[in-house]
Each structure stands twice: as structure tokens, then as C-alpha cells.
């Protein structure tokens, strides 16, 4: 009969280790490997298929940007693959599968292809120019049937099968791209969660540890939005980053940290995002984040991951090593303190920050944190206290809104101000644009007492040099009569404006009565005083034709089978958010 196995339990450095008592000699090995085990157990890497996906473009195997890099209001959700600073490189299927979707939009991905693979993953290829001829013809036919240029097409599974390495499109710079490259993503097909492609053993060489270039700390007895971070000068000594003298003196009992760090790949000078960072208090991990997988529903949580106020004020990106109270950011793992370090007067603690890239090259920052004996008094703040976990409401006789729960990330005192202007309606200052908002909320503004309903009202938002307009929906009857509403995702300055000015349509290199036999396309610039065009259509001899609108600036018709030889009449219609419409008619020969 087999003897029962006896176990001994060890508590070591905050870890519970259970081991067979007949193999106690292995304890020595555990002790030796402990520093590596703490990191591995605290934020373990996922086991993704290795060498399954090939490089998605026929060009040098190098990247401009990696997964999880910091962007305005979102994480970068894939790899930006170099195309040697030119367009029209061949884009290749990364693995066997079939083309499942095609997306075409003026911003964002521009022209994109989705390929489903038999292992339950999907790859995406964006900012493309032309697709393969067969796919291009299919998409164009669908656009004409739908009478829409901007589309997201679901494609039957057996229509466009692909093998690994098959040519699927040409690279470009369509959509939100600022220069030639291919944006490449790997997603879970069922959940649409985006996975870090570098964890699939993509052919990118990285033997360089990340650089830590900035350390900042915050007094967490008050809101992170109601203070300026205190910067700590650091330098690298014997391979370890540290402040001067190795000691950081603070005067408060609750401290959190943030860092600026970047990674570099072998042979590249680009500053790319880091993969992982862990904060240790007395050698115990208390907070960490890891760029392993993110969904598009979660990507705006970046605004809780960074010091949003500092960045919105023109400062650097600072990545918090603590989780803010209203942030359900899944990239974080924390203990019960959420990464906030507590110190009694005169107490010291050992602090360590580890920063990793996806190949687990590591950099460390170490110092002793010491609190002074003096206590700090905190003055009472003006305004209304807004709390992340609550429904926060503001209203007066002229403006009102409410924020759903968890719409903000940290508590702060909301402030309101009204500004009268010489010409136009008053401006309502709803706090400040340097405090981020996660969810959409409806702002309602009341027009003057002599209210006459109009569907030509827009609501203007502005902060600094940024401006945006939205259709203001009127309340026609009842006690709310006289109010207009629009949905927003930012604090800032809000103003009602009546818009009766229609868009303008300007031909580019084309004029009425022109012979277009030598042209391959005709283009029109369409502009509006509110910067937003709600709808644009073109009809040739009474039939809808396909105008593209890459980057939302110019509408382009490429001559196709819809325009044969002879005389033609082109009718263009542009409508803005307020419903103002412009129509232009041109005649030309072909």
C-alpha cells in the first residue's frame, strides 16, 4: 500500500509554499529562485501559441509602435509594422484562415481586413490601400448595394480562404495613420479581446532593458487631480536606478508613485511602450500592471492608468503604480492598499520598482522611503465633492448633468462658472478638461426665456485650442421646454449656438462643363463652420455613385463603370449636424 505523502508548509516573503516532506532539499532551490518566482506568480505571462503567426508584411521585420503604448484616450492595440517609409508593400496573411470582415472608415483603421484562424484567433491588418482584385471587386459591389462608402462587412467563411503568407492587400496610410505602416492585431475571435502580438514569438529582437527616465510621487490624502506630481531626480548607478543618496524624504503618510519609462528594440532608436511594471514595499509586491490583453471596451481606462491632468496640461506621460478608486482597469493587479504606501511619522520603508519588456529584460529602481515627523494640515476645498462610486449630479437654473457611477476615476471637488460674452449665449464652465470622464453623460443647457423651438441649435465644447460641436436636441413640450441636450465625455466649456450656415462644396482641379477624359478621379473639399459633415452623397445621372472620404477632408470619386463615355450630370448634396444642406450640380463630358 502506498504511504500517504506528507507536506510541510512554508511562509516565505509573503508566499505560501507547499512541498513534499521527502523532498525538503528542494527548498534551497526555491530560495534561490524566489526573486524570479515572485515576479512570475504576481503577474504571470499567458501561454500563447508560439511561431503560429508569420510577419504580416513583405518588408523589414521591425516595428514603429508596440502593444499597450500610451495614446490620447486609448492604448495602442497592436504592432505598427514598418513598411520602409513607403506605401504599397505586400501585406500577407499571418496564418491559414479566411477573410471574415472588411472595414472601411475615414479615420481609425481606414481600410482594414480581419482574418479568422482555426485556433480561435483573429488577425487584423489596417491602414491598407487596395485589397486583392477579387476582394476589392466584392467590397465595391457591396458598397454600391448599400449605397455607403463607410462599411463593416461580414464575409461568408468560404468566400476568401487564405494560406499563411498569401498576399491580401497593399500597405498604405489610410484612416488615422500619420505615415506608411501596417497596424497588426491579434484578437480572441469569441471575445474580441486584443492580445499582445509580442507574446506569440514574433520575429522582433529585444535584448535591451527598458529605460526609466522619470519618477514622481503623490500625496494620496488628496485627489491626484488637485495636486501637481512631485518629481524625483534619478540616475543609474551600477545598473540600478536610484534617487540622490538613495533616500526619498516625504512629509505625508500616504504616498503613491508614477513613472515615465520606455523600451527600445535591438537596432532601433524608437521609444516604445513598456510591457510590465511592479511596485514592491519591503520586498513584497503591492501593485503592478501588465500589457497582456485589452479589449476596446476597456481601452479608455488608459486615462486612469496615466496622470491625465499632467498630460492634458502639456506634461509627460506618467504611468501610475497605484490603482485609482474608480478604475476597474484590468491591466492592474494590487493588494488591498491599491498600491498606496502608508507610513507613520519617522517610519522608513524599502521601495523597489521593476520594469520589464515583453522579453522580460528588466530594469530596477530602488530607494528608501522616509516620512518626516511633521504632520500636514489640509485646507477645505471649495466646490461639490464628486466620488467615483456615486451618481454625481450638478444642476442650476441654466445647466445640469449627472454622471453615472464609476464615470470618474478619483474623487475631486467639482467647480462651476458662468461667463457672459458680448455676442452669443453664455459659456458654462463645467469644471476643467484636465479631469477625465470614462462614460458619456448628457449636458442640458437652457436657452433664454423667450424660447422658440429650433432644430438648428448645436452645442459647442471647447478647452484650450480644442473645439467640438454636437447637435443639440431640443425639448419641445412640458416643464423641460426650453432646454437643449447633447452627450459628451469631457468636462470643459459648453455653449449653445444657433447654426443656420450650410456646408460649402469646392471642386479641386475640376469645373463645370469640363472634359474629364484624361482624369481618373474628381475631388471635392466639403467644409462646415461646425467642422462636422453629417452626410454627403453624389448622384451621377440620377444614380448613387461611390465617393471615398479618407481622413474626412476630401470626397473623391474614382471613375468606374458607372460613368461611361458622353455627357453627364453630377449632383452633390452635403448636410451638417444642424440639418443645413447645400446642393451643387455640375455637368461634364467623359
Chain segment 465-490, per-residue pLDDT in tens: 999 999 999 876 666 678 999 999 99
Q: What percent of the chain has pLDDT over 90?
A: 83
| CA–CA dist 328, 332 (Å, integer) | 9
Phi and psi (nearest 5°) for 56? -85, 5
Q: What mean pLDDT, rounded, does the chain reach?
A: 91
- Of the chain, the end-to-end C-alpha distance in Å amounts to 95
Query: What does the pLDDT average to over 34-43?
Result: 56
Q: What is the pTM of this model?
A: 0.90
List pLDDT tens digits, range 171-201.
999 999 999 999 999 999 999 999 999 999 9
Topology of 63-200 in CATH? Glucose Permease (Domain IIA) (2.70.70)
207 DSSP 8-state letter? -
Q: Does position 449 have pLDDT exceeding 70, yes or no?
A: no
Query: What percent of the chain stands above pLDDT 70?
Result: 91
Burial class (CB in 10 A: 0-12, 13-18, 19+), 81: buried
Q: pLDDT value at position 13?
A: 35
Q: Please state the CATH superfamily assignment of the domain spanning residues 211-371 in this structure.
A: Immunoglobulins (2.60.40.10)
Residue 371 has pLDDT above 90, yes or no: yes
pLDDT of residue 45: 82
What mean pLDDT is predicted for residues 504-526?
A: 97
CATH number, span 384-498: 2.60.220.30
User: Is the per-residue pLDDT at 29 higher than 90?
Assistant: no
Q: Domain residues of the chain, as ranges?
A: 7-33, 63-200, 211-371, 384-498, 504-589
pLDDT at 26 over 60: no
Confidence of residue 229 (pLDDT cuts 50, 70, 90): very high
Cell of 501: 450656415
3-state helix, strand, coil in the chain (%, to 5): 10, 45, 45
Please report the beta strands in 132-191, taking only residues with DSSP state E, as ranges in sequence order. 151-154, 161-162, 167-171, 181-188
Q: Is the dihedral of CA 490, 492, 494, 499 positive or negative?
A: negative
* Residue range 504-589 in CATH 1.10.10.10: no
How far apart CA 568 and CA 540 sit, in angstroms, is: 7
pLDDT attached to residue 8: 36
Q: What is the pLDDT of residues 203-223, one digit of tens each?
A: 999 999 999 999 999 999 999
Same fold flag, 63-200 and 211-371: no
pLDDT at residue 7 greater than cutoff 70: no
User: Given this model, what pLDDT does residue 419 score?
Assistant: 94
Among 82-91, 222-231, 261-270, 580-589, name the one with the lowest average pLDDT: 261-270
* Model pLDDT for residues 275-304, shown as the tens digit of each residue: 999 999 999 999 999 999 999 999 999 999
Nearest CA to 307 out of 257, 354, 232, 234 is that of 257
Amino acid at each position: 500500500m502506498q504511504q500517504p505523502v506528507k507536506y510541510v508548509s512554508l511562509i516565505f516573503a509573503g508566499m505560501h509554499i507547499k512541498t513534499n516532506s521527502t523532498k525538503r532539499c528542494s527548498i534551497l532551490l526555491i530560495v534561490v529562485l524566489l526573486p524570479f518566482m515572485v515576479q512570475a506568480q504576481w503577474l504571470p505571462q499567458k501561454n500563447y501559441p508560439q511561431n503560429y503567426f508569420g510577419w504580416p508584411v513583405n518588408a523589414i521585420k521591425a516595428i514603429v509602435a508596440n502593444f499597450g503604448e500610451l495614446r490620447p484616450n486609448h492604448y495602442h492595440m497592436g504592432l505598427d509594422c514598418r513598411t520602409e517609409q513607403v506605401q504599397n508593400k505586400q501585406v500577407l496573411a499571418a496564418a491559414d484562415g479566411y477573410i471574415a470582415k472588411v472595414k472601411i472608415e475615414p479615420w481609425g483603421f481606414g481600410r482594414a481586413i480581419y482574418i479568422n484562424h482555426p485556433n480561435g484567433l483573429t488577425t487584423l491588418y489596417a491602414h491598407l490601400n487596395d485589397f486583392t482584385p477579387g476582394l476589392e471587386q466584392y467590397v465595391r459591389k457591396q458598397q454600391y448595394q448599400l449605397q455607403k462608402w463607410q462599411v463593416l462587412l461580414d464575409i461568408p467563411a468560404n468566400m476568401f480562404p487564405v494560406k499563411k503568407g498569401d498576399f491580401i492587400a497593399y500597405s498604405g496610410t489610410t484612416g488615422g495613420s500619420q505615415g506608411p505602416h501596417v497596424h497588426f492585431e491579434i484578437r480572441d475571435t469569441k471575445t474580441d479581446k486584443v492580445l499582445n502580438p509580442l507574446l506569440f514569438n514574433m520575429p522582433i529582437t529585444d535584448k535591451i532593458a527598458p529605460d526609466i527616465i522619470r519618477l514622481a510621487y503623490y500625496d494620496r490624502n488628496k485627489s491626484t487631480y488637485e495636486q501637481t506630481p512631485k518629481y524625483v531626480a534619478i540616475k543609474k548607478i551600477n545598473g540600478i536606478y536610484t534617487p540622490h543618496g538613495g533616500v526619498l524624504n516625504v512629509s505625508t503618510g500616504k504616498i503613491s508613485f508614477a513613472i515615465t519609462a520606455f523600451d527600445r528594440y535591438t537596432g532601433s532608436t524608437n521609444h516604445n511602450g513598456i510591457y510590465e511594471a511592479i511596485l514592491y514595499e519591503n520586498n513584497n509586491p503591492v501593485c503592478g500592471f501588465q500589457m497582456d490583453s485589452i479589449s476596446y471596451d476597456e481601452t479608455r481606462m488608459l486615462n486612469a492608468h496615466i496622470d491625465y491632468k499632467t498630460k492634458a496640461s502639456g506634461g509627460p506621460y506618467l504611468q501610475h503604480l497605484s490603482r485609482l478608486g474608480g478604475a476597474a482597469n484590468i491591466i492592474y493587479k494590487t493588494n488591498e492598499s491599491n498600491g498606496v504606501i502608508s507610513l507613520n511619522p519617522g517610519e522608513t520603508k524599502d521601495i523597489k520598482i521593476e520594469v520589464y519588456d515583453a522579453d522580460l529584460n528588466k530594469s530596477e529602481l530602488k530607494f528608501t522611503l522616509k516620512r518626516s515627523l511633521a504632520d500636514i494640515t489640509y485646507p477645505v476645498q471649495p466646490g461639490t465633492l464628486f466620488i467615483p462610486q456615486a451618481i454625481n449630479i450638478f444642476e442650476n437654473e441654466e445647466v445640469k448633468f449627472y454622471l453615472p457611477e464609476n464615470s470618474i476615476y478619483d474623487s475631486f471637488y467639482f467647480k462651476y462658472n458662468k461667463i457672459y460674452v458680448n455676442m452669443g449665449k453664455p459659456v458654462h464652465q463645467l469644471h476643467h478638461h484636465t479631469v477625465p470622464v470614462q462614460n458619456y453623460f448628457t449636458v442640458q443647457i437652457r436657452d433664454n426665456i423667450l424660447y422658440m423651438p429650433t432644430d438648428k441649435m448645436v452645442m459647442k465644447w471647447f478647452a484650450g485650442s480644442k473645439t467640438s460641436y454636437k447637435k443639440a436636441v431640443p425639448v419641445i413640450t412640458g416643464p423641460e421646454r426650453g432646454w437643449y441636450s447633447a452627450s459628451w465625455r469631457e468636462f470643459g466649456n459648453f455653449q449653445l449656438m444657433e447654426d443656420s450656415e450650410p456646408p460649402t462644396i469646392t471642386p479641386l482641379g475640376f469645373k463645370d462643363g469640363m472634359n474629364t477624359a484624361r482624369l481618373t478621379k474628381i475631388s471635392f473639399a466639403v467644409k462646415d463652420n461646425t467642422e462636422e459633415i453629417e452626410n454627403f452623397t453624389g448622384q451621377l445621372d440620377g444614380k448613387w455613385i461611390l465617393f471615398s472620404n479618407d481622413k474626412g477632408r476630401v470626397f473623391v470619386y474614382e471613375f468606374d463603370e458607372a460613368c461611361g463615355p458622353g455627357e453627364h450630370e453630377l449632383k452633390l448634396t452635403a448636410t451638417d449636424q444642424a440639418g443645413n444642406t447645400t446642393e451643387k450640380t455640375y455637368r461634364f463630358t467623359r
